[in-house]
Amino acid sequence: MELDSIECVPSLDLTDEDEIHHHHHLHHFPSVSKPHTTTTTNNNNSNSNSNTVASAIHTTSVHELLECPVCTNSMYPPIHQCHNGHTLCSTCKTRVQNRCPTCRQELGDIRCLALEKVAESLELPCKYMSLGCPEIFPYYSKLKHETLCNFRPYSCPYAGSECAIVGDIPFLVAHLRDDHKVDMHSGCTFNHRYVKSNPREVENATWMLTVFHCFGQYFCLHFEAFQLGMAPVYMAFLRFMGDEAEARNYSYSLEVGGNGRKLIWEGTPRSIRDSHRKVRDSHDGLYIQRNMALFFSGGR
C-alpha cells in the first residue's frame, strides 16, 4: 500500500477519502539530579604513581596477548594454540579448518592453560571505554557487562529495512535524515493525516517514520498499516532515542479523531534499545482495528 498523500493539517476535518488524523503531545517529567560532590586527593608519593603507570602498561600488554589474531576480540576459555604456541579463540578455530592462521600448522586440540589462568586474574576496561564507559571489570564479568553497557552503540531505528548501521544518537539522527530521508520535526506537538484512496486495501508493513526534536532529545514516531492475521490494523507508537531509564522521564499521548469520534492513547515512549518489531508486536501504542478506523474516516 502506498501513501497517496501525507500532510500536516491544523484541524480535524477529514475528506471523503480514507483518512486517519493523529495528534500527539509529549510531556517531560523533570528528574532530580544527585548532588555533585568533588573530591580531591593529593598523593605526594611519586613511587606510588610510577607503580600505577607500570601496572597499567603491564595490563595493556597482557590484554594484547589475549586478543585473537583472527577476529581481534578478546579470547575466553577455551583458548586454543598450535604446536608452535600461536593462539586463537574457540570460535575462530572452527573457521580456519584446523589450520593455524599464523604458521599454517595443524591446530589439533591443544589448550593454552597458562593464558587461561592469566585471563582469570585480569581486570579490564569495558570495550566501550572510547565511547565514555569508565567501568573496569574482572575478565569474566566483562562480557556480561558489555551486552548491557549504557555506552554501547545503538542500532538504526529505521523500520523499513534491516539496516545494519550502529552508532551514537547524533550519528543516527544524521543517518536517518541523510540516508533514509525521514521527516524531521522540531517541537513537542505534531499533526499528520494518513490518506489512502482505497479504504478497503491494507498491505502488510505500510509504514512511516518521523523523527522529532523535543526537550533536547530525539524521538521516533512510527505509524503503520499492516495485516494482523486476516485483519487489517493501524498502529502508532513512540520510541525514545536513548536508554530505557531515561525514556521513563517522558510521557506522550496520541489522538486519532474524525467524524465526531476520538480515541486517545497515553503512554511512555520505548527506548530504541527495543527493536521496532518487539514494540509493534507488544501492541504498546495506539492500536486501531480496521472497522474502528472506518468510523473515524466516515467510511462504511
Q: For residue range 205-248, what is the model confidence (pLDDT) as tens digits?
A: 457 889 989 999 999 999 888 877 777 888 999 999 999 999 99
- What is 62-121's CATH number, 3.30.40.10, 3.90.25.10, 3.40.50.300, 3.20.20.70? 3.30.40.10
pLDDT at 46 over 50: no
Q: Where are the domains of the chain?
A: 62-121, 123-152, 154-297
Mean pLDDT, rounded, of the chain: 76
Please write the tens of the pLDDT for every residue from 170-187. 999 999 999 999 999 998
Q: Give the closest residue to 172 by CA, choosing from 97, 72, 90, 273.
A: 273
Spatial CA neighbour of 171 closest among 274, 97, 272, 31: 272
- Is pTM beyond 0.85? Reply is no
Q: For residue 208, what is its C-alpha cell?
A: 512511516
Q: How far apart are CA 231 and CA 111, in angstroms?
A: 57
Closest to 77 (Cα-Cα) out of 124, 113, 126? 113
Per-residue pLDDT at 58? 46
> What are the pLDDT digits (tens) for 184-194?
999 888 777 66
Architecture of domain 154-297: Sandwich (2.60)
pLDDT tens-digit profile of 63-104? 788 889 999 888 888 899 999 999 998 889 888 888 899 999
Q: In what order do the strands lie in the sheet with 189-196?
A: 5-7, 189-196, 18-28, 250-258, 261-267
What pLDDT sits at residue 34?
Answer: 36
Q: How confident is the model at residue 33 (pLDDT cuts 50, 70, 90)?
A: very low
CA distance 288 to 298: 15
Assess whether the region 62-121 and the region 154-297 belong to the same CATH fold. Answer: no
What is the per-residue pLDDT for 268? 95
Of the candidates 221, 202, 223, the one whose C-alpha atom is nearest the C-alpha of residue 290 is: 202
